[in-house]
Structure formats: structure tokens, C-alpha cells
Structure 1
Amino acid sequence: MELIIKIIIRLGIGSAIISTLFIFWGASMFSGMCGNYIHSKTTSLDEKYEAVIFQRDCGATTGFSTQISIIKFGSKLENDPGNIFSISGHPEKVAPELVWINTNTLHIKHDVTGNEYLLEVDFGWFEKLKIKYGK
């Protein structure tokens, strides 16, 4: 009986290790399938941040996606989804206008319709930025 328990435990550990390796392999294989293509950038009034409008393209089976991220001024836009706004459509047709009202408030000139995938109203932990929507 002890031999059977030892075998079951070893098989369970082996399965866990193989599953973990498979998950990491899959994540590394498919993480590069998407790409970000910058449409425009708008710098905050104090030049601490940039609001970046970009198209996120994840291959032929997905439609166009216009997304917005706030990044530190001068830093590179990573190959990640937008961190404050996302909507279907090509940036040439659906990209909203961005206006920094003051050093901590970004106005996204977009009427909220419910078709947005991501619609944050603030950004950051310590120096919170406010995000306002509407024309």
C-alpha cells in the first residue's frame, strides 16, 4: 500500500512540473503574437506622462482595436494591452482626441456608449491621474 501511495505522489508531482512547464512554454510562444502600432502621443503639462493612442493587432483572426495607455514620459510603449481605454475599430476612424486639462487630469473626448472594453477613470497608485470622458 505504501508503494502505491509513493507512486501516486510522484506521478502527481511529475504532472504538476510538466503542467507548469507547458504553461510557461505556451505563454512565451504566444506573447509575441500581438503588436502595438502607435497612432499618436500627447504629453502631460508637467512632462511626467504621455497618453499614447495605439492600434493593438493580434493577428488575422482579430479585428482592429484602438487602445490608450498612460506611460512615463520618454519611456517605451510595451507590447501590452492599453491600461486605460480600449474600443473596437481602427485608430484612423475611432481614435478620440486627448487633452491634458491640468497636470493630473486627462480628458478623452469620447462619449461613453457601452461599446468600450476598458474605461478607467483614474490611473496610478501614489500620484493618481484622473481621466474624464465626453465631448
Structure 2
Amino acid sequence: MQLLLAMAMLATIAACDIGCGNEIVPRSASPSRAISAVVFNRHCGATTGLNTQVSIVRGSAAPSGAGNTLILEGTVPLKLRWVSESGLQITGLSSAKVFKQEQWVAGVSVAYGM
């Protein structure tokens, strides 16, 4: 019974991306353009609100799934600035509710500010 429940929960989590869409807002390439930070608004249907997410991706790739760097409640106008090839600064978080906030993603150190 516990195994069946665990499998059902796993299937539900895996299905969370089905029906979700990403609207890319700005993209900011690193100085060498080898990697990019992408801000996008993610929506997963009428029962969930928009949220703002950031993913660090290789080159000009599109983010796949949920943000791997930052996830905020609502639509938040973020600003991205590369301070080096491996250093990214994200500002504009203000008082948004934070669901995910990584300090290190794909070899990039991420700093945050209001």
C-alpha cells in the first residue's frame, strides 16, 4: 500500500510540467555567450497563478521545465547582470515570496539583491 501511494505521488509530481507554459521575458548572455540566464513567467493553467522563474542554460537554449535558479510568486520585474563569466547578480526581488533561490547553478555563482 505504501509503495502504491509513493508511486502515485511520484506520478503526480512528474505530471506537474504537463500543460505548463513558459513566456520568456529577458535573456542575458554571459560575457563569452557560452551560458545565459533566462527570466520567464511560468503558468500551469487556470488553477495556478503566474510566477517568475530564472534558469541558467547553455548558450541560447530555452529553459526546460521549472526554473533551476530562482522561483518567485507572481510577476516580478527582475534585472540580471553578469559580473564575470561565472558570476551573476539578480536584483528586483523586492518582497516577493521565494519558492526556490539557488546560490550556485551550472558553475555560476548567483548573488541576489532587492
TM-score bucket (shorter structure): 0.7 to 0.9
Matched, 1:67 2:53: yes
Larger Rg: 1
Check 1:62–1:99 CA distance in 2 against 1; reply closer, same or farther (3 A cut). Answer: same
Which structure features the higher share of helix residues?
A: 1
The partner residue of 1:51 within 33, 37, 40 is 37
Check 1:45–1:27 CA distance in 2 against 1; reply closer, same or farther (3 A cut). Answer: same
Matched, 1:133 2:105: no
* Corresponding letter in the other structure for 2:97: N
- Report percent identity of matched pairs: 27
User: What RMSD over aligned residues (CA atoms) do the two structures have, in Å?
Assistant: 2.6
Distance 2:28 2:47 in 1: 30
Query: Normalised by the size of structure 2, how large is the TM-score?
Result: 0.81
**Alignment partner of 1:62: what SS?**
coil
Length, aligned pairs only: 114
* CA positional deviation for 1:45: 0.6
The equivalences for 1:1-135 within 5 A come to: 31-78=17-64, 80-90=65-75, 94-111=76-93, 113=95, 115-124=97-106, 128-135=107-114
Structure 1 alignment gaps of length 5 or more: 1-17
* CA positional deviation for 1:65: 0.4
Structure 2 alignment gaps of length 5 or more: none
Query: Normalised by the size of structure 1, how large is the TM-score?
Result: 0.69
* Corresponding letter in the other structure for 2:84: N
* Corresponding letter in the other structure for 2:110: I
* CA positional deviation for 1:23: 8.1
Structure possessing the higher relative contact order (Cα contacts under 8 Å, 6 or more residues apart): 2
Runs of 4+ residues deviating >3 angstroms: 21-31, 110-114
